[in-house]
Amino acid sequence: MEDSNKQNTSLITQQKGELLSKQSIVSRSVVKNLIRAAIEGMEKAYTPYSQFQVGAALLTKEQKIYTGCNIENAAYTPTNCAERTAFFKAISEGERNFAAIAVVGGKNGVLTDYTPPCGVCRQVMREFVDPRRFLVIVAKSEEDYLLYFLEELLPLGFGPEHL
């Protein structure tokens, strides 16, 4: 079995012993639509310093899509990643229920490799989703992608329930 296929069909143990497959959360056609939206989002990236363009597309449980791009800054640290842009757009519109996010990126917008979300973005996601169910799709194209539960990317994450 191809590596990406193994990753995408693997099962993860849920709370209460339930098993959930990644592809059962979002169908292949929804994954493709999300990746396409992430690529469109990437085209708006503001990256005068790194030229590394990133796009994200966040899917709500009601099937609405919010896109985001990275927004850089001359002082560097205020830079906002594409994933956080998408989340903050959605949260500021009142959305609270999310199913998945697709992320694409590359130098000058050329998708030569997968672009996994940075640690800060993983933590921002952790605030608003169930890490055992929320899917992170990292893609090189509509056909070439990896699926992860947030729990796999941020194990033992600190969340609102810890306070």
What is the identity of the amino acid at 12? I
Alpha helices of the chain — where are they, by DSSP H?
3-9, 28-42, 82-92, 119-128, 150-153
Look-up of token digits 């296929």: 5
Taking the complex as a whole, the smallest distance from the CB of residue 111 to ligand THU amounts, in Å, to 13
- Separation of alpha carbons 67 and 69, rounded Å: 7
Q: Which of 47, 111, 129, 148 binds ligand THU (CB under 6 A)?
A: 47
Instruction: Confirm or reject binding of residue 117 to ligand THU (CB under 6 A).
Output: yes
Catalytic residue among 18, 43, 72, 83: 83
Question: Between residues 8 and 70, which has the closer beta carbon with respect to ligand THU?
Answer: 70
Q: How far apart are CA 145 and CA 24, in angstroms?
A: 16
Q: What's the token pair of residue 74?
A: 């001359």
Binding of ligand THU by 151 (CB under 6 A):
no
Q: Which of residues 64-83 bind ligand THU (CB under 6 A)?
A: 70, 72, 79, 81-83
Shortest Cβ 49–ligand THU spacing (Å): 7
Any idea which residues carry the catalytic annotation?
Answer: 83
